[in-house]
Amino acid sequence: MMKTLHEYFLNHLYRLALVAMLAIVTLFSIVLVRVRLSENDGTHYSYLFLIRNLLLAWIPLLVALITESLIRTCKMFYFIFPLGCLIWLICLPNAPYLLTDFQHLRLYSGSPKIWFDVIMVIWVAFTGLFLGLVSLYVMHRLVKRQFGRTVGWAFVCTAALLSSVGIYIGRFLRFSSWNILLTPSALADDLLKETVDSGSRILGFVSLYTLFFVFIYITFYVFGNVLHEDSRE
């Protein structure tokens, strides 16, 4: 597998540069959190969870890149892609989930370091969002190449919808991605109860996050094509 990944990155230098850039931004975000943890402003709340969530946000991108690098033929696509896609979908909510961490700022609203907290969470949240967008682009490209443009965009919308549901489950029901595999019955029971008790909140949350994620991705996708057009000129 390591040889395959090496050959893959040699043939996709821009992907390697993008991954390297995201790694640098991730390290910088972690440094910001560590600096904040070293401060003592009389509060007892810790932002340490941001580091954990940011590292989890890397999983969908790594899964997407490994899946793409292992697919060399059409036959390999139907063998490798279903498993890779399943793991990727389970992990994808970890990336945009970081956007919900803005709500923790309210716990530090009276801190003299609130200006630093805002910038720090912006760095972490948008790093997670870009990790999710890049991983979605990789998987979208695989599906579009195999099944065409229409199926490719249907895949994007479906992934955004399922990711939004996953974010809701993580934020309000406090389940992690792996609970889908480890405790599916408990997750299903709690989700059913939540649907009955807070159906309107689920609908609003999932709809807004899905629209936001799709809009950001389309912007990301169109901008990439604009750059491609400019390079051809």
Whether the predicted model's global pTM rises above the 0.85 cut: yes
pLDDT category at 106 given cuts 50, 70, 90 is confident
Contact 191, 169 (CB under 8 A): yes
Q: What is the 3-state secondary structure (H, E, C) of the chain?
A: CHHHHHHHHHCCHHHHHHHHHHHHHHHHHHHHHHHHHHCCCCCCCCCHHHHHHHHHCHHHHHHHHHHHHHCCCHHHHHHHHHHHHHHHHHHHHHCHHHHHHHHHHHHHCCCCCHHHHHHHHHHHHHHHHHHHHHHHHHHHHHHHHHHCHHHHHHHHHHHHHHHHHHHHHHHHHCCCCCHHHHCHHHHHHHHHHHHHHCHHHHHHHHHHHHHHHHHHHHHHHHHHHHHHHHHHC
Contact 92, 135 (CB under 8 A): yes
Cα–Cα distance for residue pair 185/143, rounded to 1 Å: 31
> Among 72-76, 82-86, 162-166, which stretch is predicted with the lowest mean pLDDT?
72-76
- Residue, of 178 and 117, whose pLDDT is higher: 117
Q: What pLDDT score was predicted for residue 3?
A: 57
Contact 63, 85 (CB under 8 A): no
Give the pLDDT mean for 84-105: 93
Which two three-digit tokens encode residue 121? 């969470």
Q: Residue 25 above 90 pLDDT?
A: yes
Q: What pLDDT score was predicted for residue 197?
A: 84
Q: Residue 30 above 60 pLDDT?
A: yes
Type of residue at 35: V
The fraction of the chain above a pLDDT of 70, given in percent, is 88
Torsion angle (degrees, nearest 10) of CA 105, 108, 111, 113: -40
